[in-house]
Structure 1
Amino acid sequence: MALPNAVVDSRQELLDAQSHVWNLIYNYISSMSLKSAIQLGIPDAIHKHNKPITLPQLADALSINKAKSPALFRLMRILVHFNIFKHEEEAYSLTRASRLLLRDGPLSFAPLALVGIDAIMVDPFHHMAEWFKDEFPTPFFTRNGKTMWEFGENDEGWNKVFNDGMSSDSHIVNSILVNECKHVFEGLKSVVDVAGGTGVVAKAVAGAFPDIKCVVLDLPQVVDGLKGSENLRFVGGDMFEFIPPADAVILKWILHNWSVEDCVRILKKCKEVIGGIGNGGKVIIVDMVVDCEKQEHSAFQTQLLFDVLMMTVLAGKERTEKEWAHLFSSAGFQNYKITPILGLRSVIEVFP
């Protein structure tokens, strides 16, 4: 006997809901599969082959245990499903996404991908429920008994992994920033890249605009031993205590790491060092501007993921334009301009 339509619909809705929850539960498998592909060097092996590669050829190139070739097929199948690789005529090839994972590629994203999937970043999520009931600032602190910055000071291996990841992200930003946002740097004679890591952004600016004097400010353990050039130098220090004076201050992917109070402190310090420049002084921010109404679903979802990541590891957040405006006014700035040119992120110019 056929069931009434209402009962059939109810059953299907129940099964769809179950499938939806299952996908959420096991979503970590997609990132762990991606991590395995990077660690095995699968994108590099396919690229080196110079043409689509069969499964046996890929297994040979990776020195895979022959008994585990069926498992390699299953790993590749899920990565093909997520559009990391293509599979046509029994052979695999790269996609735009996997080209970003080539270790020696000019825009390699692999180091940053490994940061996000590292156990140091993932473990705190197991303590989120515990954190909601304790007095600590983040689940990361609940897990490790220290902030992520304090953790990096005492773990050279993680410090290098993290800095390499941040540098790899800067390559993509630089290719757009110095080529398509030249107006941002017009009229400037000096810039300081605050918390600029190994100087990838500053080097790009110094190379594209040789008349601009560039300074990279970061913690001593980050910049010690790094060599500058004729118009680039490295300075060790704490941005909360000291920022070298300049026409402009660059804050690339920095403010989302910090609370409202800390962001206002940083911005006030920036305002002090550009205050004597006149109309040319400004702060150049590269960060997300969350806007659920104007963005595609996938982009908004990624920003939500980053927001919870910031909450979990750094006590920061991703901000809407209204929240950014509140930060700027609280720090004493009068005006700002948002240029949404970096995909999930924007270039924000803030003026005294």
Structure 2
Amino acid sequence: MAKLNGDMELSNNGELLEAQAQVWNHTFSFIHSMSISCAIDLGIPDIIHRHGTPMSLSQLVDTLPINKAKSHCIHRLMRLLVHSKFFVKHDTSDKPDDEEARYWLTPAGHLLLRNNPMAVAPLVQFITDPVNAKAGHYMREWLVGEHHESAFEVAHGKTFWEHFGNCDSRLGNLFNESMSRDTRLVMYVLLKDYKQVFEGVGLLVDVGGGVGTTTKAILDVFPAMKCIVLDLPQVVAGLEGTHNLTFVGGDMFDNIPRSDAILLKWILHDWDDESCVRILKKCKEAISERGKVIIIDAVLGHKGKGDNNKIIQEAQLLFDMVMMTYLTGKERSEREWAKLFTDAGFTKYKISPVLGARSVIEVYP
């Protein structure tokens, strides 16, 4: 019987050692994200994909733009990425480090391809950049302090939006690209599995819709619909609409154009409760009694059919900490969402967990 601090007993020494390994795994978990980022920067997923068939370690090493004196380290990088299920390894012998072991991409690995329109690679590069990684080191200072709205602001002296809107165009562009590719992935799934959410909508306003990636995908399926993209003037400046797509510069806190339905994709989790209620009240003013607000966001505890619950739950909890570290928002439980809707004057809602870590929430006056 092992004891910890003289008061907690463990059933055996194995449990003690497993507890130590658990702490190690979480302490060094940043190595996972850094290894993924390194693989993207080196072009490993793209090189293997272009090869067309599982690629041997020796072939991969010969192709990589690295110092060849360090080529013996590539199998160690790949070993972790295979363990993390970004690649699968086909062994050709009984030797675990055989140089002729061949690597191929898993579904997660395909999301690291630079030219994949639904790739998560830009988000990986954005989050692992030193500018963003620095914010995590100021979490304690932010928690004990009084005046800053986030750990990011403590680290950089500016809010997240101020920094990337005015100071760092490179990372700002990377952020915008990551959001655009996420939109393509989400809309691909949504319009395949739950397109009825848009049926009967004559005019849709996409709040914070950027360059119109979401609305263009919707119009491909519902060409008779009309869409308005509302975003800040500097975001939509110079963008040209079509006969059924209009770009409008404005602020969602001030005014939202009248419509049959309003779409808020990954918007409300950026904001605190008070701000969300303000946005939702503007939405309620803009729709008729038969209208609705369509929200795409996480609902803590909800998971889609066939999903791995552990992976989904961890993604939700990690994103909640991201919101706390960089912004003023959070991921919300159904109870927290319900309170926002009630405070904004809505009477009913429907949650459809059809998007993995996120759900579609339809809110009615």
Q: TM-score, normalised by structure 2?
A: 0.90
Amino acid at match of 1:144: H
Unaligned stretches of 5+ residues in structure 2: 4-8, 92-100
Q: Does 1:108 align with 2:125?
A: no
1:31 is matched with: 33
> Which has the larger displacement, 324-333 or 149-158?
149-158
- Counterpart-to-counterpart distance in 2, 1:223 and 1:159: 15
Counterpart check, 1:123 vs 2:125: no
For 1:61 and 1:5, locate their aligned partners in 2 and report how far apart those are by CA, in whole Å. 51
* 2:16 alignment partner AA: L
Structure 1 unaligned blocks of 5 or more: none
1:290 is aligned to 2:303:
no
- Of residues 323, 330, 346 in structure 2, which corresponds to 1:333? 346
Q: Residues 255 and 5 from structure 1, CA distance in 2 versus in 1: closer, same or farther, beyond 3 angstroms?
A: closer
Picking from 309, 314, 326, the partner of 2:322 is 309
Instruction: Give, in angstroms, the shift of residue 257 of structure 1.
Output: 0.6
Work out whether 1:211 is the aligned partner of 2:224. yes
Q: Which amino acid aligns with 2:173?
A: K
Corresponding letter in the other structure for 1:244: P
CA separation in 2, counterparts of 1:100 and 1:85? 11
8 Å contact from structure 2 (residues 33, 124) kept in 1: no
Give the counterpart letter for 1:287 in structure 2: D
Q: Residues 152 and 159 of structure 1 are in contact (CA less than 8 Å); yes or no, is this contact kept in structure 2?
A: yes
Q: Is the 8 A contact 1:285 1:347 kept in 2?
A: yes
AA in 2 matched with 1:282: K
Across the two proteins, how many residue pairs are aligned to each other? 346
What does residue range 225-304 of structure 1 map to in structure 2 within 5 Å? Answer: 225-274=238-287, 277-279=288-290, 281-291=291-301, 296-304=309-317
- Write out aligned runs for 1:151-166 (5 A): 151-154=163-166, 155-166=168-179
Query: What's the counterpart of residue 58 of structure 2?
Result: 56
1:44 aligns with 2:46: yes
Q: Aligned AA for 1:93?
A: W
Q: Is the 8 A contact 1:46 1:52 kept in 2?
A: yes
CA contact (8 A) 1:112 1:168 kept: no
Partner secondary structure for residue 197 of structure 1: coil
Would the aligned equivalents of 2:303 and 2:358 in 1 still touch at CA under 8 Å?
no
CA shift digits 1:319-347 (9 cap, x unpaired)? 11111000001000011111110011100
Q: Which moved more, 1:314-323 or 1:104-113?
A: 104-113
In structure 1, the partner of 2:24 is 22
In 1, distance between residues paired with 2:242 and 2:230? 15
Deviation at 1:130, TM superposition (A): 0.6
Whole-Å Cα distance in 1 between the matches of residues 49 and 135 of structure 2? Answer: 35
1:143 aligns with 2:155: yes
Is 2:303–2:356's contact at 8 Å kept on the other side of the alignment?
A: no
Identity of aligned residues (%): 51
C-alpha displacement of 1:54: 1.0
Moved more, 325-334 or 202-211: 202-211
How many Å apart are 1:108 and its aligned residue? 1.9
Q: 1:151: how far off?
A: 1.2
Q: Is the 8 A contact 2:303 2:353 kept in 1?
A: no
CA distance in 2, matches of 1:227, 1:129: 45
CA root-mean-square deviation: 2.0
3-state DSSP class of the match of 2:55? coil
In 2, the alpha carbon distance for the partners of 1:16 and 1:138 equals 34
- Aligned position for 1:200: 213
Query: 318-327 or 134-143: which moved more?
Result: 134-143
Instruction: Find the partner of 2:81 among 79, 82, 90.
Output: 79
TM, length-normalised to structure 1: 0.93
